[in-house]
Structure 1
Amino acid sequence: MKIAWLKKALLRVEGEYLSRMGISLPIIAIIVVALADLAAGRDHFLTPGIIVAPPLAAITVSWQRTIFIGFLGLATQAALSPYDGVTDVNDHDILFGQLFAYTAVTVFSVYIAWRRETGARAFTAITSVAEAAQHALMRPPAPRVGGVRLAVRYVSAADAAQIGGDLYSVLETPHGVRALIGDVRGKGLGAVQTSAVVLGAFREAAFDEGGLERVAQRVDTSVGRNGTSGDFITALFAQFDKPDRVELLHYGHVPPLRVSRDGEVEQLVPTDPWLPLGLADMVDDGPTPWRVPLLPGDVLVFCTDGVIEARSPADNTFYPLEQRVGPLVKGSSHDLDSAVERVYADLLGHTGGSLSDDVVLLLVAPIPRPLPAHPQDPPVVTG
């Protein structure tokens, strides 16, 4: 995956640098060429070098200022022509050739500047729409939701976009904290539309339904009604109704990992693997939720397949999340933000800084309930 946020950061730095240079860069080029021509004497004809000024303006200033630079360069060449003796040349084809080449480059530079400005405005509009869509679909959760702490890292594979086919949601409901992480087959607008269907159905069912299996059935029904033909979504549902356990329901998604306080990692393989959402009607029954005990300091690591299928450019191996996540997450149940950044940085290090798929990393740690206060000793009564 070409990392959209990194590209945008680099483009922003480059744009700010060029913006600070502004119109001074092409003007400096004109001045340098003019001074070099004067220093070289009448026997040297260096003014054609001014032809570099319009292209420099095309990448630093607006198309209107690029026109100004073009005229300024042309005026400079005209002013230096008598000094260089160009007007005394019998063959005026040299002058016409220079004028034609300079005019052509200037016109092309003005066009490039106009296209650059148009592209920048379109990019800004697309980014704004993507940010609005991301906040509408993937509402960033607070660091604490109900009785759990959490941290998330979401990156879309699409350039200039911030949403994709991966999805997640964490909600505080009357039934406890309920979470969903999933991955829609495919990419692009179709995947985003299916993500919207899944998240909308989950946010409704999570409050209404009493069991995870009923929540999943509601989501699956909504996908069947509103999704496009052939859509399916790998999904993992979780419910935190007590601090010492989590209830999981698996629909073909990547199994979560449990990292203990001392860094031991256990893959929570479902006892009842099942088909993804959208394909559940191919069988009669549904998966059975199962409960996993949690100890103080445990952290649950949820992810999408963009994490475990990320390849190293050196040896083409997949990212070994289960082997690496322990030291990166252990003892971090009170600081999950730092932990998720460490895991994501390690993932980028493995892949050489680029990923090929959407990525969701979600870390969740239940908050232990405080111990009840010891009752005070009864007062001593003396006779």
Structure 2
Amino acid sequence: MTDQRVLSAPRVLAWMPTAVMVVVAVADVVSGPGVGFLPLVSLGPAFAGLVGGWRRTALFGGAALVLCVGLGLYDGLFEERRGFTAMISVAGVTGVGIAAAVMRGRSEAELASVRSIAEVAQRVLLRPVPLTAGPVRAAVSYIAAVAEARIGGDLYELVASPHGIRVIVGDVQGKGLAAVETAAVVLGAFREAAHEEPDLLGLGERLERSVEREVGDEKFVTAVLAQIGTDGEVIFLNYGHPAPMFVRRDGTAHFPQPPAYALPLGLGAHEGDAPKPYRVAFAPGDQLLMYTDGVSEARDENGAFYPLTDRAALLTEADVHRSLEALRQDLLRHTAGPPHDDAAMLLLRYRGPGKTPFPATE
């Protein structure tokens, strides 16, 4: 059975063991026994161990031993120690290559298992948002700062509740598994409280208590909460998070600021202003982009921040998902790859009141 690692390896490395042994054999035959090319046959299994599994390494090791015996007999090297020394060299390199291939295979299997678990965790933690919720259409984007990463400290959620569409976008202080754990606490509390709390202030207080109880002073979370009803308005609570961007039907963009920025979630026990709800008109055709600072603070190679206001014109596709994808690709071009911080975006497009009664989703 063909080793799948060989199929995914660069073609040059896959053919290198064969090419090396052919070159060594030709050089040895042409140069004669006096030059001493025979020990170089061990390069075949050495290169095989770099790419394939242990079976492939053993196969090239066996072929190298056969070639070594043939060339040794041709050169008459078994009448002295040189032939046997060459065979020992090939056998030793083959053994080391097989051991390395086995250890690498185990490491690759463990990495694949970890990635699989991370993908499951991502689906649970950051599950897909509804395509349609009440009067809005929604699309989401998450860009991990590390290309191999699946989850991080940014969070988002949209819940269609009896009290309206409740939305959260947040950013956990710090990185790694501790940040993921904190994000899970916030999202779990939000998903439960969004259905139970009749007003947004009560929802925010529930989140504050959950973060303080479960996380303590070690972590805090910047977040913005939004509630969208059928009255053409959005109510916001801002806990030290970047202000959302509104893109009006005529293409103009602005960032409504809260009356006062409250401390992030988890720091409510410290002195500071309590969050104050504020309302912003949300008419049919308008768009609301909620994001984390991995978007607004993304820099290019010259250190310039991403000009989010100037990119509002990208959100013009008839399909909300294609609009957000256009913005995502532009952000990646600006940073020439994944940004230095995780970047989450949630785009909501208002379709108009009366389209679908709460809490219908699809």
Q: Shorter-chain TM-score category?
A: 0.7 to 0.9
Provide Cα deviations, 1:292-331, integer angstroms capped at 9, x if missing partner. 1123321111111111222222x122222223x22211x3
Letter aligned with residue 41 of structure 2: I
1:361 aligns with 2:336: no
Provide Cα deviations, 1:229-268, integer angstroms capped at 9, x if missing partner. 3321100001111262211111100111011234321112
Q: Which residue of 2 aligns with 1:10?
A: none
Q: Which residue of 2 aligns with 1:9?
A: none
Distance between the aligned counterparts of 2:171 and 2:118, measured in 1? 19
Taking structure 2 as the reference length, the TM-score comes to 0.88
| SS across alignment from 1:229 | helix
The one of 57, 60, 63 aligned to 1:66: 57
| SS across alignment from 1:312 | coil
Distance between the aligned counterparts of 1:101 and 1:222, measured in 2? 64
| SS across alignment from 1:280 | coil
The one of 207, 220, 223 aligned to 1:232: 220
The one of 295, 314, 328 aligned to 1:328: 314
1:131 aligns with 2:122: no
Q: How far has the Cα of 1:37 moved from its partner?
A: 4.1
Q: How far has the Cα of 1:46 moved from its partner?
A: 4.0
1:223 aligns with 2:211: yes
Q: How far has the Cα of 1:147 moved from its partner?
A: 2.2
Are the structure 2 counterparts of residues 370 and 205 from structure 1 closer, same or farther at C-alpha, using a change threshold of 3 Å? Answer: closer
Are the structure 2 counterparts of residues 354 and 156 from structure 1 closer, same or farther at C-alpha, using a change threshold of 3 Å? Answer: closer
Provide Cα deviations, 1:136-173, integer angstroms capped at 9, x if missing partner. 11111132223211111113335643111110000111
The one of 201, 206, 223 aligned to 2:194: 206
Provide Cα deviations, 1:329-351, integer angstroms capped at 9, x if missing partner. 1x33x412112222121112111
**Worse-superposed segment, 64-73 or 279-288:** 279-288
The one of 244, 247, 251 aligned to 2:235: 247
Are the structure 2 counterparts of residues 282 and 23 from structure 1 closer, same or farther at C-alpha, using a change threshold of 3 Å? Answer: closer
> Is the CA contact 1:311–1:318 (under 8 Å) kept in the aligned structure 2?
yes
The one of 343, 350, 355 aligned to 2:334: 350
Q: How far has the Cα of 1:25 moved from its partner?
A: 5.8
1:338 aligns with 2:331: no
Q: Which residue of 2 aligns with 1:84?
A: 75
> Is the CA contact 2:153–2:174 (under 8 Å) kept in the aligned structure 1?
yes
> Is the CA contact 1:147–1:243 (under 8 Å) kept in the aligned structure 2?
no
1:318 aligns with 2:313: no
Q: Which residue of 1 aligns with 2:158?
A: 170
Distance between the aligned counterparts of 1:208 and 1:237, measured in 2? 15
Q: 1:133-172 alignment to 2 at 5 Å?
A: 133-158=121-146, 160-172=148-160
1:121 aligns with 2:98: no
Letter aligned with residue 165 of structure 2: V
> Is the CA contact 1:235–1:251 (under 8 Å) kept in the aligned structure 2?
yes
> Is the CA contact 1:22–1:61 (under 8 Å) kept in the aligned structure 2?
no
The one of 132, 150, 168 aligned to 1:180: 168
**Worse-superposed segment, 34-43 or 350-359:** 34-43
Q: Which residue of 2 aligns with 1:299?
A: 287
| SS across alignment from 1:339 | helix
Letter aligned with residue 196 of structure 1: A
Are the structure 2 counterparts of residues 354 and 53 from structure 1 closer, same or farther at C-alpha, using a change threshold of 3 Å? Answer: same
State the Cα RMSD in Å. Answer: 2.7
Letter aligned with residue 328 of structure 1: L
The one of 2, 9, 13 aligned to 1:18: 9
Distance between the aligned counterparts of 2:25 and 2:219, measured in 1? 65
> Is the CA contact 1:155–1:163 (under 8 Å) kept in the aligned structure 2?
no
Taking structure 1 as the reference length, the TM-score comes to 0.83
Q: How far has the Cα of 1:178 moved from its partner?
A: 0.8
> Is the CA contact 1:263–1:326 (under 8 Å) kept in the aligned structure 2?
yes
Runs of 5+ consecutive residues of structure 2 not aligned to the other structure: 356-362
Q: How far has the Cα of 1:369 moved from its partner?
A: 3.7
Are the structure 2 counterparts of residues 206 and 163 from structure 1 closer, same or farther at C-alpha, using a change threshold of 3 Å? Answer: same
**Worse-superposed segment, 60-69 or 274-283:** 60-69
**Worse-superposed segment, 114-123 or 169-178:** 114-123
Q: How far has the Cα of 1:33 moved from its partner?
A: 3.9
Letter aligned with residue 249 of structure 2: R
> Is the CA contact 1:299–1:364 (under 8 Å) kept in the aligned structure 2?
yes
Q: Which residue of 2 aligns with 1:6?
A: none
Runs of 5+ consecutive residues of structure 1 not aligned to the other structure: 1-12, 372-383
